């Protein structure tokens, strides 16, 4: 099945300030940054890979204007760097309206041979990093007093079993639970917190950490017979970030055509 037409901008985030982690490169974070800019937002992009971040930010600034794009490196395993990210966003753009917590680490490791270090690394980036960023964004939004939106990137693997993914599945299931619980706490501040759970979105990093055989198998499970383009996941993030989802909080939305 062919990929649908790329959507035309509709001003869905006009005037909003969006902070996105793991936004360098051609994955979901990069696609989300582009879609937010297309919809009128000002965007702070961050990533642990500084060289790739600078390159991505320069490309976006050239296309959308340097006054609408800012970049700062951030390793989400560091509380100090997470705090610096959100302080930077407020310093540059004066406020934060939307936070997209996209940073995560995957890979394939059989539990029987997995060292503690590998488990801890995946959990620290994927779950703890999402917690740190959610907490930092929520504090800023609470103090601003005008609400806000947080969107976390989970995965359908938080619901579904797959060999070699015990660390990643546990982390993503944790992101789902974190989203639901934090959303109840955030409601009193007028802040909504939701998550997307993609099944299979193709990007260069996924190709590096997944075998061709497994990718082919996962693709064959999709009802449309293809993987999602990163911008298709970004579209759902955009929906959750905007006013069309104003009554949604604590939800985990599958971005998938895969069925058990």
Tell me the domain boundaries of the chain: 17-255
Query: Catalytic: which of 168, 227, 244, 247?
Result: 168
Per-residue pLDDT at 256: 84
Per-residue pLDDT at 125: 98
| CA–CA distance, 51 with 53 (Å, rounded to integer) | 5
Contact 197, 176 (CB under 8 A): yes
Q: Is 168 an active-site residue?
A: yes
Q: pTM of the entire structure?
A: 0.93
Per-residue pLDDT at 29: 97
Q: If you compute the radius of gyration of the chain from its CA atoms, what whole number of angstroms results?
A: 17
> Reduced to 3 states, what is the DSSP secondary structure of residue 8?
coil
Q: Would you say domain 17-255 falls under CATH 2.40.420.20?
A: no
pLDDT per residue of the chain (260 residues) written in tens, 0 to 9? 677 899 999 999 999 999 999 999 989 999 999 999 999 999 999 999 999 999 999 999 999 999 999 999 999 999 999 999 999 999 999 999 999 999 999 999 999 999 999 999 999 999 999 999 999 999 999 999 999 999 999 999 999 999 999 999 999 999 999 999 999 999 999 999 999 999 888 655 554 455 576 666 666 676 677 778 999 999 999 999 999 999 999 999 999 876 55
**Size of the chain in residues:** 260
Burial letters 47-65, b for 16+ CB under 10 A, else e = bbeeeebeebbeebbeebe
């Amino acid at each position: 099945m062919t990929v649908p037409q790329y959507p035309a901008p509709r001003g869905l985030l006009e005037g909003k300030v969006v902070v996105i982690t793991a936004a360098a490169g051609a994955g979901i974070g990069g696609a989300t940054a582009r879609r937010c800019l297309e919809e009128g937002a000002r965007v702070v992009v961050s990533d642990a890979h500084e060289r790739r971040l600078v390159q991505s930010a320069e490309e976006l600034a050239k296309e959308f204007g340097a006054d609408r794009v800012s970049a700062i490196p951030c390793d989400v395993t560091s509380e100090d760097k997470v705090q610096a990210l959100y302080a930077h966003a407020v310093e540059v753009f004066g406020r934060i309206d939307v936070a997209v917590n996209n940073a995560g680490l995957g890979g394939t490791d059989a539990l029987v041979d997995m060292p503690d270090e590998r488990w801890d690394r995946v959990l620290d980036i994927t779950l703890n990093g999402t917690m740190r960023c959610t907490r930092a964004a929520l504090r800023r939004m609470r103090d601003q007093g005008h609400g806000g939106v947080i969107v976390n990137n989970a995965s359908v693997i938080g619901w579904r079993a797959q060999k070699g993914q015990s660390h990643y599945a546990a982390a993503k299931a944790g992101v789902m639970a974190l989203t639901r619980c934090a959303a109840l706490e955030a409601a009193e501040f007028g802040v909504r917190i939701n998550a997307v759970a993609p099944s299979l979105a193709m990007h260069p990093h996924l190709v590096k950490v997944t075998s061709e055989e497994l990718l082919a198998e996962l693709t064959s499970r999709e009802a449309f017979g293809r993987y999602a383009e990163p911008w298709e996941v970004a579209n759902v993030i955009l929906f959750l970030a905007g006013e069309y989802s104003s009554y949604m909080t604590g939800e985990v939305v599958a971005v998938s055509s895969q069925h058990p």
